[in-house]
Chain A
Amino acid sequence: MTDHITIDQTPALPPEKPRLTAGSWVRQNLFSSVRSGILTVIFGVFSFFAFKVLVNTMFENPDRDWLAVKTNLRLYAAFAYPITQFVRVWVALGLVLALLGLSLGIWRSASAVAARTIASRLIASGLTVLAGTLLVGPPVLRDEAGEPVYDETFEALRGTWRSGLEQRTGWFLLAFALVAAGVALWFGLGSRRNTLTVPTTLVVWIASGVVIGSTWVVRYGHYGLDPEGVPVGDPDSLVAMSTRMPWTVMWLLVAVAYQLGRFVSRWNSSRLLITAAWFLAPFIAFWVILRDPAIDYGHVWSTDLPMFLGFGVLGGLLLFLLADPKIGELGRFIAFLLVVVAALTFVSGFYGWFSMLQKARISFCLLALFALMANNFAGDRQTRLRFAGAWVLLIGIAHYFITLMNSPSTLELRADSFLGGFLFTMFAALFGLMFSFPLGVLLALARTSTLPIFRLLATWFIEFVRGVPFITVLFFFDIMLPLFLPAGMEAPDMAATVLGLVLFSSAYLAENVRGGLQSVRRGQYEAADAIGLTGAQRTSLIVLPQALRVSIPPLVGQAITTYKETSLFAIIGVFDFLRVANYVVPNQSTPVNFIGHKLEGLIFVSFVYWLGSITMSKYSQNLESKMGVGER
């Protein structure tokens, strides 16, 4: 019963419009009236010069040195992660991509692109590249060190147009290849181009395949250099080529995972499992793969395992008892007692009555939570066994990860920052959002609850967080988190920032979910009450599935915002994607002097951010039109 959020699978085809001839198209869209004609001329000239200025500022400008980006791609990707251990980064990335592929396969989107659109887009982009290549000025002359050569008036010397054309053969080839592909598609399909559609997922996959595959054919890119100036990886190969093998593997992995996802989507539990896997993924990626923890096995045998067995067996037995439908109020009483015990474990630690491992305290909290839920999972023997089994599994996973967190990392780090660059940005956005989601749902439920204290607490929290800028929340956590922790425990900046992100976006998510909750009609609550569901059952079986479905588009919008908001980490001093561009590379003097070369990196960074968020926003528009939201 987890597949409520499936979207209607009919592909959205644009209504057939009569095709215009080129002449009448121009007349209708550019010169329909005198006013329109004047606008066309003015803005046509404007866009020509704007485009020219743009490409010239970006490329053939003496201040530009794109090597600053090309040789530092490794920093942009993962910052100071040890080069020898880079395979870990690939495995972590592979984990996320595999999950992504599986999810895409399970929650298949039916969006499709018309072949006609693909062909015309290919031709248009080819022509744009061609125009850009022709519009940039002659190349700036540079000396051996790569510095531009200036004349007496401090104007950079430039070569001839002809030399420029020779240097840009690659770009010309790219332009022609794009146009040729588009034309081939256009005429190759003949009249079928108007009817044939290709799934968007396939288009994206093929396009990325072409990019990745091209590294096997064309030698482009640049050497990645480590701080000593030694080329990174295979000394004979360029960055693009030295990473072609892993990228190809990733590319194939996504395809395999997608197919697997399609295959397993017929099982109802696959959705539950993949969701659980997503929630485990950050811990596995971060603590297992990237940190390679040195687990103290002596401690494991002496303390961890006995603790797990104790909590697992005794807790399981207790929960099995509590899930008896006939237990009645006694169950509530025991659950209440457990809540008190869980609270006491913290109080006692604070006043030093008796010490206790943090793990035990967390376990007591989890046990209390399960005990509170037991009533809803009561049933026959099998249901009760399953409930107790879920407890054992969860406590096992929780204990495992707590052990991992307590084990030191085996990696020797060159810088104080453990993880950085785009990898960190991506992980923070993805996992921050993931964890803020349940919190946001809880807040939304509390805010719409009939219980005034819950409502008040949630309202104040949400309105407070929404009233202050993200950066102040980040500062708060950056400064306060170390103070909140008991002595001896340390939290890296990264943890503080992600915690801030989770709390911050949970308040916004809560408002989105609240919109969905308000769209669930009153009769649904009454019907659920009338058939005797408990409050928790009513919420989880009836209300939330309907509310979340409605709030998917605004939730994706919030995901985009969160993704963009991660850039603020740079201000706190975390070496995220933006900070590499804005701070690290422009201050790099060895092996190549890139001091002051900020703009290249910023343009590169904005392109990557743009690519990510435009993908999500197109996806959300697609969903919205398919769900009939926003159309009237």
Chain B
Amino acid sequence: MTDTSVADTDRLSGNKDMIVCEGVNKWFGDFQALKGVTATIKEQEVVVVLGPSGSGKSTWIRCINRLEAHQGGTIIVDGVELSNDLRNIEKIRSEVGMVFQQFNLFPHLTVRDNVTLAPIWVRKRPRAEAEQLAMDLLERVGIPEQADKYPGQLSGGQQQRVAIARSLAMEPRVMLFDEPTSALDPEMIKEVLDVMKDLARGGMTMMVVTHEMGFAREVADRIIFMESGEIVESGTPEHFFTNPTEERTKLFLSQIL
């Protein structure tokens, strides 16, 4: 396995570890989706995970949020180990936001209710406060005027931005993005990526699975390349795009660029 050490950018050097994965394994039946994935992600770091489809990148970030249970190795998020411990699962779920490829907004609730749901029911905040927060967040993702519509009435890009606002409403310390732009029409991709860039600039720790190379090049502190459940290579964008060391990485890049 190649070096998985943290990219030595200055702004991250003093930060503490936010996500620590060590030898994470995951099987689906006989199929091993993750083979000893080991990586450390610093606070405020933006990591883009690349790889061909079926390489286990989605599975990996879903493990970090316990949407899938990993079956070997250790995952520690913000000092809390993800295990069978209910208290830890609760804690991590409320500290890690997740944005899905298919948005997964709740179609029977208005945009406002989608965003206030978690603050009210999980964070136990008063409704008025939660609604204020929701409006602030919708403002931040640029669609305050849609607050009273239902998700079905919005475009894909708007829906994804609502989904980001919904995750942010939990005030998470880490945001996971699972191919957030793959289900979008080309003209809507930019509006979502802009929101994500904003977030990154604001110092959010982010793990992004995406095929948007421009985004990776511009925003990522580090790029992790995965194939068949293993981390093949990891490094800064310049390193990754200009002179990757591994053959498999070169092959991958030659196919997509």
**Interface set of A (CB-CB < 8 Å, partner B):** 1, 4, 325, 328-329, 376, 378-380, 382-383, 521, 523-524, 526-533, 537, 541-542, 545-546, 549
Residues of B near A533 (CB, < 8 A) are 117-118, 121-122
Cβ of B67 within 8 Å of any chain A Cβ, yes or no, is yes
Chain A neighbourhood of B124, CB < 8 A = 325, 378-380, 383
Contacts of A524 in B (CB 8 A): 104, 106
B187 → chain A, closest Cβ, in Å?
24
- Those 5 A-B pairs whose CB atoms lie nearest each other, nearest first: A527-B104, A523-B104, A379-B124, A530-B98, A531-B118
Q: Which of B31-39, B86-94, B226-234 contacts its partner?
A: B86-94
Query: Measured between alpha carbons, how far is A382 from B106 in the docked complex, in Å?
Result: 27
- Residues of B93-113 whose CB lies within 8 A of A: 93-94, 96-98, 100, 102, 104-109, 113
Q: Return 29 A-B CB contacts under 8 Å, by A number.
A: A4-B109, A329-B87, A379-B124, A380-B126, A523-B100, A523-B102, A523-B104, A524-B106, A526-B100, A526-B104, A527-B98, A527-B100, A527-B104, A528-B106, A530-B167, A531-B117, A531-B118, A531-B167, A532-B90, A532-B93, A532-B94, A533-B118, A537-B121, A537-B122, A541-B117, A541-B121, A545-B108, A546-B108, A549-B108
Taken together as a complex, chains A and B put the C-alpha atoms of A328 and B88 apart, in Å, by 12
* Chain B, residue nearest A548 (CB): B108
- CB neighbours of A378 from chain B (8 A): 124
Give every chain A residue within 8 A of B126 (Cβ-Cβ).
Answer: 380, 382
Query: Cβ of A542 and Cβ of B106 under 8 Å apart?
Result: yes
Residues of the A chain whose Cβ atoms lie less than 8 Å from the Cβ of B117: 531, 533, 541
Minimum CB–CB distance from A609 to chain B (whole Å) comes to 35
- By beta carbon, the residue of chain A nearest B96 is A530
- B222 proximal to A (CB < 8 A): no
Task: Indicate if the CB atoms of A328 and B87 lie closer than 8 Å.
Answer: yes
Docked pose: A378 CA to B122 CA in angstroms: 9
A530 touches B97 (CB 8 A): yes
B: contact size bracket: 20 to 34
Complexed CA–CA distance, A521 and B96 (Å):
22
Cα distance, A528 to B67, chains bound together (Å):
10
Instruction: Indicate if the CB atoms of A531 and B122 lie closer than 8 Å.
Output: yes
**Complex-state Cα separation, A417 to B105, whole angstroms:** 54
- Most chain-B CB neighbours within 10 Å: which of A328, A329, A532? A532
Q: How far is the CA of A546 from the CA of B126 in the complex (A)?
A: 25
Report B167-209 residues with CB < 8 Å from chain A CB: 167, 169-170
Q: How far is the CA of A546 from the CA of B106 in the complex (A)?
A: 9
State the Cβ distance, A525 to closest chain B Cβ, in Å.
9
Contact with A along B106-139 (1 / 0, CB 8 A): 1111000100011001101110000000000000
Q: Which residues of B lie under 8 Å from residue A382 when comparing CB positions?
A: 126
User: Does B65 interact with chain A (Cβ within 8 Å)?
Assistant: yes
Q: Are A1 and B67 within 8 A (Cβ)?
A: no
Are A531's CB and B166's CB within 8 A?
A: yes
Q: Shortest CB–CB separation between residue B217 and chain A, in angstroms?
A: 28
- State A527–B169 Cα separation when bound (angstroms): 13
Residues in B neighbouring A376, C-beta threshold 8 A: 121
In the complex, residue of chain A having the shortest beta-carbon distance to the beta carbon of B126: A380
Can you add 7 more A-B contacts, CB < 8 Å, to A524-B104, A530-B67, A546-B108?
A: A529-B67, A530-B96, A530-B97, A530-B167, A531-B97, A531-B170, A533-B118
Give A1's nearest chain B residue, CB to CB. B113
- CB proximity of B164 to chain A, nearest CB, Å: 12
A524 to B102, CA, bound (A): 10
Shortest CB-to-CB span from A626 to chain B, Å, is: 16
Q: Which residues of the partner chain B approach A532 to less than 8 Å between Cβ atoms?
A: 90, 93-94, 118, 122, 170
